[in-house]
Structure 1
Amino acid sequence: MTRDSPPLSHPPRGLRSPLRKAGSGLPPRLDPDGLRARRFRSLRTITALILREMATTYGRSPGGYLWAILEPVAALAMFSIGFALVFNAPPIGNSFPLFYATGFLPFMLFNDVANKMATSINFSRPLLAYPAVTFLDALIARFLLTVLTHMMVAYIVFFGIIIIFGARADLDLPVILLGFSLGAFLGIGVGTLNCYLMTAFPVWERSWQIATRPMFIISGIFFTYDSMPRFAQEILWYNPLVHVIGVTRDGFYGAYRADYISVTLVLGVASLTLLAGLLLLWRHHRTLLES
């Protein structure tokens, strides 16, 4: 700009502040271009974190993603063979592998999502030192990769059991997706809260593993809620995973009437833990990264 040039009435577009100047008497206004740029930057950050997670988790092991499929298949095979030697038929349907898959796969989805979310800050700690990477980016990236992986594994396993082994199933796809969605949402909530607790108090990680070890037995993977004694039902009803597995099985077995299911309970537990975890992380994430 020369000395004789008239002053600009407005700053150039790229130099405008996203907020109106304080004290101008006008309410703050966000710059749409700045918001779009931040959203695009966050999307690129999440994508980069997902690619890093894929390379770290699966890229360094022989077989890569193949192990994500072989692990549940091997577990279901052992369950099916072991229980087939003891019982003549599964509690529901005609296939041991399908019955255990309807309990094992949603449980593993919840468990893996919760564990991956809980270790997000420690896993991405070096990258969180950069201003462009936030703790929300780390949480979202690990959640998306874990859910997509488990959905792919579930599709392959169920397809193999029903088509190859001829298991009878009356599929209700919306109900099946609801069951897996509830498991994923519950994993988000518990994992986000544990992300703060395990990072702030390292002893909590071991304590949580010990306290939740019986969950594999008492969540209804090997039995149905209706087959339990009355006193056990009154206790196990408060385990949200019992309802997650009940919804999933309701989507595979048309004759199965799971009247005990409470979707509200699962949503309530998941929402409360998620809100508590996000609030604690938002207030203390800088302290956690500096510790």
Structure 2
Amino acid sequence: ERYPLSLNAVNVVCFKIDWDERGLKVLLIKRNITPQKNKWSLPGGFVNVDETVEDAALRKFVEETGIAPSYLSQVRTYSDSKRDIRDVGKYKVRVVTTSFIGVYTFDKDPVLTEESSDYEWFKIPRKYIQRSIPELAFDHEQILTDASNRLRRNLEFSGLATRFLPDYFTLGQIQDVYETIWEVELDPANFRDKLTNVDGWIREVKNPPEDLKARRGKPPTWYKEYDVPQFERMISNPDGAVIREKESEYQKNLDNMTSEIPVIKLEELE
């Protein structure tokens, strides 16, 4: 058919930092339903008729895991006609999904539902992601890879790093986020100089809460986020060239597609 039926879905690529292992991890669940039962997958599901994809992403993630991310941001849409085809009555229906990056910073463990038989936080290295995770359902490996690259790239241009931290933090803790996710070592003096020069992002807290004040020795300097700006590459990833190149491939494909769309003049529509 020229205009086949389709269903809208969402998937959440939820990351957390394991500070004991100093590694970035992603939450996967093992499917206990068809299709592709017993395969690992990203949490997600279908969008209700009366909700946005943003609302659906949060709802489905909470329903399937029992936990809520502290941050959620849309990444991109996957619409390959063969990525996921379902039988709905007498029709073959394609599934179009929108992916989101989530960040989880709490200690509560996920809760299994009837639709899942297991869950696990898998470590996601910067290279060779496929060697660190099991085979995933549908095109979730591609979705995970794209989200991982986007996360690492966005650290250069936004205040995303503080989403992995509590409300009050030190400059050393922010540096730990960058070094853990990027898997690099950064010069402390140079990093902190650049960090404090990002206008409007973080500010020193003159009077931190009592529970943060050191009882002995020199107290640390605490900071708090005041804005999440989009800035030019103030904090560069030393190994970020490959990530930026992979990320740009998606935009190049979009540019190529849109360049082939004919321009229709207004008078031609009259």
TM-score normalised by L of structure 2:
0.24
From the two aligned structures, give the one with the greater helix fraction. Answer: 1
TM-score normalised by L of structure 1:
0.23
**Bigger radius of gyration:** 1
From the two aligned structures, give the one with the greater strand fraction. Answer: 2
